[in-house]
Structure 1
């Protein structure tokens, strides 16, 4: 009997990339003998009451053998897990990956290479931002230029490069009340990084991204892509980072530091179209194969 799956994406997000990722997974599943249905997260509502946890569905969906969760709706992912369904990636891994502060803490706990990082203390609206006396400690520790990164964000849009104390204080004021970090700027990786797609215990594809006029190397910000052959050390770090976060599959971004590869980010919901366009390797095939092996073991 053919195994069945759900591929859950966020139907509220604009653009084709989110559906495209789901379709790539669905096509890979079909080629490997599995029937997978693409479902928007607002078509399945998590229902709670005193007697049970359940789902409210817009139409009749039979329970699947597996769920490929391509969104960050961790409450829905966790509800599906509580109902006994096999979810890839799991809710805890998605939540940890989505929160950059928590992710860096976990990576540091596992003694993996990350940029030197200071977590901004939590403050409330009653706190006078002009009294950011601790800014001097941050400057002394990290120097300039410096990266400021919000805990939650995508496509590099919540990452900022500051060159001096005035710019630092202005950005701190703008982010007043949000969770963010101060981070060492890896000058040797200005405008370039590598994305390694990890599935289970292997790196299945990798690409180098380079931007001419931006310190970030996001393709959505105009960076160019080229196929990349990662070293043994780069592969080991990427796989260890994915395991530390708890992902079954992830896009791991590494920076080029003088000391060696440094982890920039672990993306539990990394889109794979650009990787495919660059390398001709379809990571969806590896992801589906991994999932089907695990539900059968």
Structure 2
């Protein structure tokens, strides 16, 4: 029987968002008589030596499972190597954390996404920026276009570029930071849909809208309202979650031409307070129920 687990969150990020997620998961577990301990990632150091890898310092009690509310992929992998079930898996977090990897997985599964071009690897301090391929990419995608840094959250590190010179200037500014170029979906300007998927089912959905920004993120000032997704949107969100291997995820969809849904992003560490405030659905309860079911199965 599942009795004890950990929720891992980042110990060095400012603000309370990440601990807040952990506390919601902890409270949902308590309702099921499961004790969850909140642990910062910096309190679990991976120790590697000839006798094998372990966690330092050692904890007296081994968890039945770990809810991994962070992007410390190497730590998540180390816990898996110790045969501790981790939700989401290190591989799923890896695919979601890196937008280049996300779009590779989505396109490999032939899911509808905006046309996306992965930027090349650029080492620090290049002698000169080769621009020919970027200029061709801009012509192919059209302007305005979106530049997204491969690593970023809350709609940050996402830029709308209006001209070819703006494209070159922004890439020169990013330099060695990985990025993608993406077609701008004008039909979804300032609007998207967040669907929370748990165990292959959509459990909550909201529409996010911004009146003064092409990004709809609530953390960037957008508003939210309860949304009833279509069958096509539900199927797409579930397929996107499966494509990157998440047990639970926040899947963001855009409204393409004629309102055809497109996958914008898949978030393995999606925060759940906003969607509760909007829909009154506690996603944490679904996450704990799913984990208990999976552990009982095997």
Under TM normalisation by the shorter chain, which class is it? over 0.9
Q: Which of 287-296 and 1-10 deviates more?
A: 1-10
Partner of 2:227: 228
Residue in 2 aligned with 1:30?
Answer: 30
CA contact (8 A) 1:155 1:220 kept: yes
Aligned equivalents of 1:76 and 1:136: distance in 2? 40
Aligned to 2:215: 216
* Aligned residues of 1:2 and 1:35 also touching (Cα < 8 A): no
Question: Matched residue pairs, number?
Answer: 295
Is 1:278 matched with 2:283?
A: no
Report how far residue 135 of structure 1 moved: 2.3
Listed as ranges, the matches of 1:134-153 within 5 Å are 134-153=133-152
CA distance in 2, matches of 1:119, 1:32: 44
In the TM superposition, what is the alpha-carbon distance from 1:127 to its structure 2 partner? 4.3
Instruction: Please name the residue that 1:251 is paired with.
Output: 250
Q: Deviations over 1:232-271 (max 9, x none)?
A: 0000000000000000000000000015000000000000
Q: Distance in 1 between matches of 2:41 and 2:242?
A: 26
Find the aligned partners of 2:132 and 2:80 in 1 and give their Cα distance: 45
Detail structure 1 runs of 4+ shifted over 2 Å in the superposition.
Answer: 123-127
CA–CA distance in 2 between the matches of 1:64 and 1:178? 37
Output the CA distance in 1 between the equivalents of 2:122 and 2:66: 38
Report the 3-state secondary structure (helix = DSSP H, G, I; strand = E; otherwise coil) of the residue aligned with 1:290: helix
For 1:266, the equivalent position in structure 2 comes to 266
- Runs (5+) with no aligned partner, structure 1: none
Secondary structure (helix, strand or coil) at the match of 1:118 reads strand
1:123 Cα deviation (Å)?
Answer: 2.4
Once the two structures are TM-superposed, the CA of residue 2 in structure 1 deviates from its matched residue by 5.3
Normalising by structure 1, report the TM-score.
0.97
Q: What is the RMSD computed on CA atoms of the aligned residues?
A: 1.1
CA positional deviation for 1:120: 1.5
- Partner of 1:94, secondary structure, is helix
Counterpart in the other structure of 1:85 = 84
CA displacement 1:38-85 (0-9 Å, x = unmatched): 11111111110011211112x744011111000000111000000000
Alignment map for 1:61-80 (pairs within 5 Å): 61-80=60-79
CA displacement 1:182-236 (0-9 Å, x = unmatched): 1000001000100000001100000000001000011111000100010000000
2:169 equivalent in structure 1 = 170
